[in-house]
Structure 1
C-alpha cells in the first residue's frame, strides 16, 4: 500500500505500528483526504500486516489542530451530510485493535475527535485540548457531542463545547480524557504501553475492545450477555491454553491469535 506524505507509517515490530500525521504547515489539520487515508491505512495494517496495536501521533510538535478550515469554508449543507469523512470516521472508531493517541502540542476540534476515536490517550504535560468549533459558527461533527459526554459526563462536555476554551493536559487527566502525562517524549511513553499490550493474546484483546465499546453503546443486560458469550468463546482458544500453561510454568506466553 502506498503511504502518502502526510501520513508517516513506522513499523516498530511485526505487531506495533505508529501513524504520524504530517501536515506541519497546517499544524496537522485533518483534511478529507487525510482522514480517509488514515481509515484506509488502519484497515491495511490490521488486515494485511496483522498489527496488534497502532499509535496515532502528530509530527512536528502538534497532534492535530482541528479540521481544515479551507475545506469547511466552502462546505454546503448537502455536502456536509454527504461528506466522505463520515464513513472514514466510523471506520476509525470501529478499528478492531487498540488505538493509542500520543498527544503533543495542540489537539483541537477534529484532532480532539480523533483522540476520542482512539481507545485511550497519553499526552505531554504541555499539550493543549479543546473543541473550539462554536467560535467558527459550527459545532463538533465527528463525535465531539456524543463520545465526549459518554466519557466525561454531559456537564463537563458542555463546558468544553459551549466555551470553545483551550484546556491544559492536567485538566484532561483529571476529567478522564487522558490516562497518563509524560514529562518528556510522549511517543516513547506510548510505545512502552503499546508493547505491553502487544504481548497479550490478540484475539482476546479484540474481543475485550468490542465488549468495552458495547458498554456505552448497548443496554446493560445486552452488553453483559455479549461479554459472557465472548468469554465462553475465548475459553476454547489455543491462546487460553498457552496463557495458562505459561503462567504455571513461570514463562512468557507465546500467543498466536488462535
Structure 2
C-alpha cells in the first residue's frame, strides 16, 4: 500500500494521509516523494480548495526513518532534498495532528497554515539526541512560530511539548479531545466555501510578507486587494451581502 494516501472527504476538500503504520509514520524516501507528488497535483486541481494533512488516529509522524538515515553517508546527505511540497502549495493546508509529531513530522505540520491537535498530541524536534539538527525547516520555522527562547528550549533539549503547551506557545490553533481529524475536515469545509482566490492571496501575502519590510509587505497587500477587485467572486460576495443571501463562489 502507498505510503501517502489521497482521500476526498467532502466537496472541494482533499485529505492527504501519511500511511506507514508499521513504522509510526516515519518519514522515508517514499513518503517524501509522495508528498512532493500529491501536493502539486492538488495545487493544480481546480476542484480542491482546502487540504487536510493527517496521519493515523494515534500518530501524525514520528520523525525521519532512522533506519534509512543510518545507511546515508556524506554524499547521500548532500544529495538529500527536504520535502517542500506542502510549503509550496498555494491552497490552505490544515494539519490534523493526533499523537506524536516529532522531527520531520513537526516540520511537516509547521509547513501547513493551521495546526489542530488532539489532547494526546506531542510536538518535538529531537534531532539533537542523534547528533543532527532539524533538516526540513525546524530551525527556522519553529522560532518564527513560538519565539526564539521557546524554540531554543525545544531544539537544544530535544524535549517534547504537550498539545496544551503547544497551544499556549502559539504553535497550535485548537486542541480537540479525541480524534481531531473530523474537526480539521469541518474547518476545511468552512474554508472551502469561501472564495478560493482570496484564500490563496491571503496565504501568498502572509508568507511573502514575513520576509519583507513592513512597507513592502503592505504594498503587496494593496496589490492583492486590487487584483481581487477584478474577480467574479468579489462581486458575488458584495452583492450577496447587499441582497442578504448566501453567496456562491466559483473561484473566478
TM-score strictly above 0.5: yes
| Matches for 1:86-235 after TM superposition, within 5 Å | 86=82, 89-235=83-229
- TM-superposed CA distance for 1:156, in Å, is 0.7
Native 8 Å contact 1:150 1:216 kept in 2: no
- TM-superposed CA distance for 1:14, in Å, is 3.5
Of 75, 80, 89, the match for 1:78: 75
Deviates more, 1:10-19 or 1:165-174: 10-19
**2 CA distance for matches of 1:145 and 1:256?**
39
**1 CA distance for matches of 2:54 and 2:97?**
6
Q: Could you list the per-position Cα deviations for residues 193-235 of structure 1 after superposition, in whole angstroms to 9, with x for gaps in the alignment?
A: 1111001000010011000102322222221111111111101
**Residue 43 (structure 1) aligned with residue 40 (structure 2):** yes
**2 CA distance for matches of 1:107 and 1:195?**
24
Native 8 Å contact 2:3 2:34 kept in 1: no
Native 8 Å contact 1:122 1:186 kept in 2: yes
- TM-superposed CA distance for 1:167, in Å, is 1.3
Q: Could you list the per-position Cα deviations for residues 102-147 of structure 1 after superposition, in whole angstroms to 9, with x for gaps in the alignment?
A: 0111110000000011011000011111100000010101100001
- TM-superposed CA distance for 1:60, in Å, is 5.0
Q: Counterpart of 2:17?
A: 20
3-state DSSP class of the match of 1:102?
A: strand
Of 20, 31, 38, the match for 1:34: 31
Give the number of equivalent residue pairs. 252
**2 CA distance for matches of 1:57 and 1:225?**
35
Native 8 Å contact 1:122 1:190 kept in 2: yes
- The CA RMSD over aligned residues, in Å, is 1.3
Of 223, 246, 256, the match for 2:240: 246
Native 8 Å contact 1:22 1:60 kept in 2: no
Native 8 Å contact 1:30 1:111 kept in 2: yes
- Name stretches of at least 5 consecutive residues in structure 1 with no aligned partner: none
Native 8 Å contact 2:27 2:61 kept in 1: yes
- TM-superposed CA distance for 1:5, in Å, is 1.9
- TM-superposed CA distance for 1:176, in Å, is 0.6
C-alpha change, 1:107 and 1:115, in structure 2 (3 Å) is same
**Residue 59 (structure 1) aligned with residue 53 (structure 2):** no
- TM-superposed CA distance for 1:152, in Å, is 1.0
